[in-house]
Amino acid sequence: MKPFSYERVSSPAEAAAAAARAGGAKFIAGGTNLLDLMKLEIETPRHLVDVTGTGLDEITETDEGGLRIGALVSNTALASDERVKRDYAVLSRAIVAGASGQLRNKATTGGNLLQRTRCPYFYDTNQACNKRKPGRGCAAKEGVSRQLGIVGVSDACIATYPGDMAVALRVLDAVVETVKADGTTRAIPLGDFHRLWGDTPHIETVLEPGEMITAVTLPKPLGGTHIYHKVRDRRSYAFALVSVAAVLDADGHGRVAIGGIAPRPWRVEAADAALPDVKVAARALTQGASPTDQNAFKIALVERTLAGVMAKARGEAA
């Protein structure tokens, strides 16, 4: 781990200003992703701004009838909030499908959105990785790629955004609120938040350096049946091969987002429009897929998982 300096701040504005002041600064929230990456020297911030004291750990109701989730609300608190469990159950279910109880106690809403990919070559600093060292090439593309992405990926990088929570947020049309170093704020729809890799896989979101997430807002409740199905090799403590977040009517109309296949939670308008036709929806979701031999199975898996979700929404026996 490279030496770094550390400070605590007590408000979002202070945090953004502190990050702007010190070059090479990063925010630290739960630290469950950042610290692991620092130990491997994949992340090498020179300064850490601890944002856990910024008071952003509440869930409040918005004027529009939705919820505003503070960036520092822990994954555990968010998943167990009565309003979330009642009105946004897909979010609650997605969160508890991820990581472990201990990690979710530490992990925060903002940090979770910004967790980095789990591509094994990204984690092994002996290997070429455009995301870690732009321009060095991508060892994964012709290597072990079973977990990696099939859509929205690029020649430079085929990694996925690995998280679960964001897949549910995407299906709920959540919006990310931020504050920049100069004190200006903005609201970014989650669908625009994570970038596709293109030629710059090291730039993963539209956040500017030093821009801090303050909250995530949810529009007013959608109703419907909320389902999160995460397919993985073992029953917990594993990242998704494919996951489906769905909010569906009894007749199978609604919306879906897919995790585990792309640089961001994958939602396609044409797929939502095609529902309840699973085949057409799945085709829309995997349109233009460029899988490797090892992860081509994800195309069929998207369709089959979607079919299973649809069956569940229709109340077929579990």
Partner 1 sequence: MKYTTPAGDTVIDRQRVVGQPTTRIDGPLKVTGHAPYAYERHDVAANQAYGYIVPSAIAKGRVRSIDLAEAKAQPGVITILTTTEVDELPLGMGHTVPLFGGSEIRFYHQALALVVAETFEQARAAAKLVRVDYERTQGNHDFHALAPDAPLVEGSDGPDVSKVGDFEAAYASAPVSIDVTYETPHESHAMMEPHASIAAWEGEKLTLWTSNQMIAWSKQAVAKMLDLDPANVRLDSPFLGGGFGAKLFVRVDAVVAALAAKKAGRPVKVMLDRPLVFNNTTHRSATIQRLRFGAERDGRLTAISHECTSGNLAGQEGENGIAQTRLLYAGANRYTAQRIARLDLPEANAMRAPGETAGLMALEGAMDELAEKLGMDPVELRIVNDTQVDPETPNRPYSSRMMVECLRRGAEAFGWDKRNKTPGGMREGRWLIGHGMAVGFRNSVQMKSAARVRLSSNGKLTVETDMTDIGTGSYTILAQTAAEMLGLPLEDVTVTLGDSDMPASCGSGGQWGAQNSTSGVYAACVKLREDIAGRFAMDPNTAEFIDGEIRAGAESRKLTEATASGEIVAEDSVEYDELSKKYQQSTFAGHFVEIAVDAYTGETYVRRMLAACAAGRILNPISARSQVIGAMTMGVGGALTEELAVDTRFGFFVNHDLAGYEVPVHADIPHQEVIFLDELDAIASPMKAKGVGELGLCGVGAAVANALYNATGVRVREYPLTLDKYLDKLPAV
Ligand X SMILES: Cc1cc2nc3c(=O)[nH]c(=O)nc-3n(C[C@H](O)[C@H](O)[C@H](O)COP(=O)(O)OP(=O)(O)OC[C@H]3O[C@@H](n4cnc5c(N)ncnc54)[C@H](O)[C@@H]3O)c2cc1C
Residues in contact with ligand SF4 by the rule CB under 6 A: 117, 119, 121-122, 129-131, 138-140, 148, 157-159, 201
Is residue 112 at the binding interface for ligand X, with CB under 6 A as the rule?
yes
Q: Give the footprint of ligand X on residues 236-255 (CB under 6 A).
A: 239
SS (H, E, C) the chain: CCCCEEEECCCHHHHHHHHHHCCCEEEECCCCCHHHHHHCCCCCCCEEEECCCCCCCCEEECCCCCEEEECCCEHHHHHHCHHHHHHCHHHHHHHHCCCCHHHHHHCEHHHHHCCCCCCHHHHCCCCCCCCCCCCCCCCCCCCCCCCCCCCCCCCCCCCCCCCCHHHHHHHCCCEEEEECCCCCEEEEEHHHHECCCCCCCCCCECCCCCCEEEEEEECCCCCCEEEEEEECCCCCCCCCCEEEEEEECCCCCEEEEEECCCCCCECCHHHHHHCCCHHHHHHHHCCCCCCCCCCCHHHHHHHHHHHHHHHHHCCCCC
Is residue 53 at the binding interface for ligand X, with CB under 6 A as the rule?
no
Cα gap 41→51, rounded to integer Å? 21
**Sites of contact with partner 1 (CB under 8 A):** 1-3, 39, 41, 118, 120-121, 123-124, 126-127, 139, 142-144, 146, 229, 231-239, 241, 297, 300-301, 304-305, 307-308, 311-312, 316-318
Residue 1-30 contact track with ligand X, rule CB under 6 A, x = bound = -------------------------xxxxx
Considering only 119, 213, 247, 274, the residue that binds ligand X (CB under 6 A) is 213
Least separation in angstroms between CB 230 and ligand SF4 = 21
Beta strand 5-8 with 47-50 is parallel
Least separation in angstroms between CB 173 and partner 1 = 26
CA atoms within 13 A on the CB side of 102: 2
Using the minimum distance from each CB to partner 1, give the nearer residue, 14 or 123: 123
Using the minimum distance from each CB to ligand X, give the nearer residue, 213 or 282: 213
163 binds, among partner 1, ligand SF4, ligand X, none (CB under 5 to 8 A by kind): ligand X
Considering only 81, 87, 164, 204, the residue that binds ligand X (CB under 6 A) is 164
Considering only 13, 18, 96, 99, the residue that binds ligand X (CB under 6 A) is 99
Is residue 175 at the binding interface for ligand X, with CB under 6 A as the rule?
no
Least separation in angstroms between CB 164 and ligand X = 4
Least separation in angstroms between CB 128 and ligand SF4 = 7
Least separation in angstroms between CB 124 and ligand SF4 = 9
* CB crowding 112-131: b at 16 or more within 10 Å, else e: bbbbbbbbbbbbeeebbbbb
Q: Which residues contact 269 (CB under 8 A, 6 or more apart)?
A: none
Using the minimum distance from each CB to partner 1, give the nearer residue, 71 or 301: 301
Using the minimum distance from each CB to ligand SF4, give the nearer residue, 159 or 301: 159
Least separation in angstroms between CB 158 and ligand SF4 = 5
Using the minimum distance from each CB to ligand SF4, give the nearer residue, 143 or 276: 143
CA atoms within 13 A on the CB side of 196: 12
Using the minimum distance from each CB to ligand X, give the nearer residue, 245 or 281: 245
Give the footprint of ligand X on this chain (CB under 6 A).
Answer: 26-34, 36, 51, 71, 98-99, 103, 106-108, 110-112, 114-115, 163-165, 212-213, 239
